[in-house]
C-alpha cells in the first residue's frame, strides 16, 4: 500500500476528518480540503504527519481549478478521491428558497460533479473515486427535498462515469451513510432538542442499538479506495446500521 495519495474534499470535520485519520493510520498520504481556514488549520495540525490541507470552496469552479493545479504541482498524480464535501440545511419543501436550492445544489452536486471532472487529469491509472451520498436517496425524510435531490443527482452519475472513465483506469463507487453523528446536524439549523430527538430515535430503532459514527464509515471508504475493491464498479455500500432494511 505504501504511501498512496488520497484527496478528501471537506476533510476538516465529521466523516471526512475521521476518514483522513483512518487512512493516515493505514499508511496513506492525505490531502484534505475545506472552505474555512480555521477548521482546515485545526484539522491539519490534529492529523499530523503526512496530512496536508488546501483551502478550497467546492462550490467554486475556479477554486477547484486552483486546487487541482496546486495538487499537481506539489504532489503529482493521486491514487484516490473521496468526494465528501457537503452541506445540509433542514427546510420544508414549501419553505425552500432559491438561495437554499442553489447553495445546496452548487455544493453537493455541481461542486462534486466538477470536482470529479477536473481531477481526471491527475488521477492515476488505476485509481478510485468514492462519492458520499446518503440514505435519503432511497428513503424519504421530511425537510430534506433539495438535499435529497442533490444526493440523488450525484449518485446517478456514478454509473455513467464508470463507463466513460473506464479506459483511464478510474472506477467510481458510492458510500451511502445513514444518520451519522457529526457537526452537520448543528449546522443544519435544527434545534438542540430536534437533534437529540433525531439521534435518540435512530439509536432506539437501529438494529445496532446506537447511532452511526464517522468511525463506522471510515473503514468502508478505505475499502472502496483500496485495491481490495478493485473489481467493484458503481457499488453502493449503505452504512446505516440496518435502519433502512
Nearest to 78 by CA among 28, 44, 150: 28
Q: Which residues contact 33 (CB under 8 A, 6 or more apart)?
A: 7, 8, 9, 10, 11, 40, 53, 54, 55, 56, 58, 67, 85
Cα 224 off chain centre by: 13
Select the residue interacting with ligand NAP from 6, 7, 12, 81 (CB under 6 A): 12
Binders in 129-168 for ligand NAP, by CB under 6 A: 132, 134
Backbone angles phi, psi at 236, to 5 degrees: -120, 120
Stretch that binds ligand NAP, among 28-36, 46-54, 120-128, 137-145 (CB under 6 A): 28-36
The residue written with cell numbers 476518514 in the block is 19
> Cα–Cα distance between 29 and 51 in angstroms, integer?
6
Select the residue interacting with ligand NAP from 46, 159, 187, 228 (CB under 6 A): 187
The residue written with cell numbers 499508511 in the block is 27
Q: Determine whether 147 is an active site residue.
A: yes
Binding status of residue 45 toward ligand NAP by CB under 6 A: no
Select the residue interacting with ligand NAP from 10, 53, 80, 241 (CB under 6 A): 10
Stretch that binds ligand NAP, among 13-21, 120-128, 199-207, 227-235 (CB under 6 A): 13-21
With CB under 6 A as the rule, give the number of residues binding ligand NAP. Answer: 31
Confirm if 58 and 65 have CB atoms less than 8 A apart: no
Select the residue interacting with ligand NAP from 5, 29, 34, 44 (CB under 6 A): 34
Residues near ligand NAP (CB under 6 A) are: 9-16, 33-36, 39, 57-59, 84-88, 107, 132, 134, 177, 179-180, 182-184, 187
Amino acid at each position: 500500500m505504501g504511501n498512496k495519495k488520497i484527496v478528501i474534499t471537506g476533510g476538516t470535520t465529521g466523516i471526512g476528518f475521521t476518514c483522513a485519520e483512518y487512512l493516515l493510520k493505514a499508511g496513506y498520504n492525505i490531502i484534505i480540503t475545506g472552505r474555512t481556514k480555521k477548521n482546515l488549520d485545526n484539522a491539519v495540525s490534529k492529523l499530523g504527519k503526512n496530512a496536508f490541507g488546501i483551502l478550497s470552496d467546492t462550490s467554486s469552479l475556479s477554486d477547484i481549478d486552483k486546487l487541482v493545479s496546486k495538487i499537481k504541482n506539489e504532489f503529482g498524480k493521486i491514487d484516490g478521491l473521496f468526494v465528501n464535501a457537503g452541506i445540509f440545511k433542514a427546510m420544508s419543501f414549501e419553505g425552500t428558497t432559491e438561495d437554499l436550492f442553489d447553495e445546496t445544489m452548487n455544493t453537493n452536486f455541481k461542486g462534486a460533479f466538477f470536482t470529479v471532472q477536473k481531477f481526471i487529469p491527475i488521477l492515476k491509472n488505476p485509481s478510485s473515486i468514492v462519492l458520499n451520498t446518503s440514505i435519503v436517496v432511497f428513503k424519504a425524510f421530511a425537510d430534506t427535498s433539495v438535499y435529497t435531490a442533490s444526493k440523488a443527482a450525484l449518485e446517478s452519475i456514478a454509473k455513467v462515469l464508470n463507463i466513460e472513465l473506464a479506459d483511464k483506469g478510474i472506477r467510481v463507487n458510492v458510500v451511502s451513510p445513514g444518520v451519522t453523528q457529526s457537526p452537520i446536524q448543528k449546522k443544519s439549523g435544527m434545534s438542540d432538542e430536534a437533534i437529540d430527538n433525531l439521534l435518540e430515535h435512530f439509536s432506539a430503532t437501529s438494529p445496532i442499538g446506537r447511532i452511526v459514527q464517522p468511525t463506522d464509515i471510515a473503514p468502508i471508504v478505505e475499502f472502496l479506495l483500496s485495491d481490495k475493491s478493485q473489481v467493484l464498479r458503481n457499488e453502493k455500500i449503505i452504512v446505516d446500521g440496518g435502519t433502512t432494511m
